[in-house]
Structure 1
Amino acid sequence: MRGAKLIVTIVAKRYANALYEYAKEKNNVEQILDELKSLVDLYESSADFQELVKNPLIKRSEKEKVFEELKNRNAISETLYNFLLMLTEKNRLNLIVEIYMHYRILLMEDRGEVDAYVKIADDYDDVLKKEIGDVLSKVTGKKVNLNIEIDKTILGGFVAQVKSNMYDASIKGQLRKLKETLLQV
């Protein structure tokens, strides 16, 4: 199963790369990101839209009608409309969420940005959020978009994941390191 997921991710990345390069040529990278985000939001909130995307038994012409209606309502551009038609033709429409995620990453990389997933022990204010962001920006050399979650088990400090790197500045982590050091003595 893990191998199948890896293949899907590689395919989604290829489609996202192609869409991103095409959007750069058309000078509408941001617009396409917004449109993809709206489609993903619709996918996540509408069982009918999920069914349309996932169900291979729904005729291609029916799917195309939905996308044409979205285009006619100016919910999606001609660029994204054509891309969705291609995904439908290739039976890859089910990759739309992964394509969005990879497309967003490509745009962030071009901007010198990165997502950071941070766990802190207690409520936080804007000052603490800025301090954590500054520390991670300095370490990564990029502008950091923080996604903060409260996790009382870390006791204090924070734990952050930026791409595949983990930064543990938590009290729990420091206690674990101290225990490991003491056990080695």
Structure 2
Amino acid sequence: MAEEKTIARPYAKAAFEYAVEHEAIDNWATMLGFASEVAKDQQVVEFLTNADKTQLMADFFISVCGEQLDEHGQNFIRVMAENKRLGVLPSVCDEFLELQAEHLKQITVRVTSATELSKPQLQTLTEALEKRLARSVQLDCCVDSSLIAGMVITAGDLVIDSSVKGQLSKLSDTLKA
């Protein structure tokens, strides 16, 4: 997985830089999202794995995507096919979307709480996180009753564990030391 991300990153960065330069970020996100879904299809995976000729792979992939790819998107697919990298298109799409979120100063924050949060609580949490992270926040909430009370907030590498379960775990570790 890490190797796939390493392979995908330069493709995503090149596509993103092109999209920014031509003010077509949303269009590229849509094209890459569609191509990514095509690349995940089992029949397409089998064809791409067994195909020897890069031109054949590119033509096949472009024909499957149809009008979803503009001329520049088709060229992008051809370059990836020449380098035998069509299999990493889902990772390219993920990397592109991360670059897009960074560019737009957006972040998705995972909030796991012991009970369902009310609308005022969600609003207060969103405002506090936007202030702390200095970007627009989209909450992805779920409930995990094993936390007992409180919540765990995950935003990228940042993890804030204010759950009773987490505090009990820290206390246990402190007492053992």
TM-score for the superposition, normalised by structure 2 = 0.85
Q: Spell out the pairing of 1:87-126 with structure 2 (5 A cutoff).
A: 87-126=80-119
Mapped to 1, the partners of 2:22 and 2:43 lie a distance apart of 31
SS, match of residue 130 in structure 2: helix
Mapped to 2, the partners of 1:149 and 1:66 lie a distance apart of 41
Identity, % of aligned positions: 22
- Deviation string 1:37-66 (CA, Å, 9 cap, x unpaired) is 12223444x32133344x153543332223
Query: 1:178: how far off?
Result: 4.3
2:43 to 37, 48, 53: 48
Map of 1:25 onto structure 2: 21
Does residue 159 in structure 1 map to residue 140 in structure 2? Answer: no
- Contact 1:121 / 1:153 at 8 angstroms: preserved in 2? yes
Q: Which moved more, 1:145-154 or 1:107-116?
A: 145-154
Mapped to 1, the partners of 2:64 and 2:121 lie a distance apart of 42
- Contact 1:52 / 1:58 at 8 angstroms: preserved in 2? no
- Contact 1:122 / 1:156 at 8 angstroms: preserved in 2? yes
Does residue 149 in structure 1 map to residue 150 in structure 2? Answer: no
2:55 to 49, 55, 61: 61
- Contact 1:67 / 1:81 at 8 angstroms: preserved in 2? no
Mapped to 2, the partners of 1:148 and 1:51 lie a distance apart of 36
- Contact 2:39 / 2:86 at 8 angstroms: preserved in 1? no
Aligned residues: 177
1:77 to 70, 77, 97: 70
Query: 1:153: how far off?
Result: 1.4
TM-score for the superposition, normalised by structure 1 = 0.81
- Contact 2:29 / 2:97 at 8 angstroms: preserved in 1? yes
Mapped to 2, the partners of 1:122 and 1:43 lie a distance apart of 38
Structure 1 unpaired stretches of 5+: none
Query: 1:28: how far off?
Result: 0.9
Distance 1:132 1:184, change over 3 A: same
Mapped to 2, the partners of 1:17 and 1:136 lie a distance apart of 27
Map of 1:86 onto structure 2: 79
Mapped to 2, the partners of 1:148 and 1:58 lie a distance apart of 45
- Contact 1:23 / 1:79 at 8 angstroms: preserved in 2? no
Distance 1:91 1:42, change over 3 A: closer
Structure 2 unpaired stretches of 5+: none
Map of 2:31 onto structure 1: 35
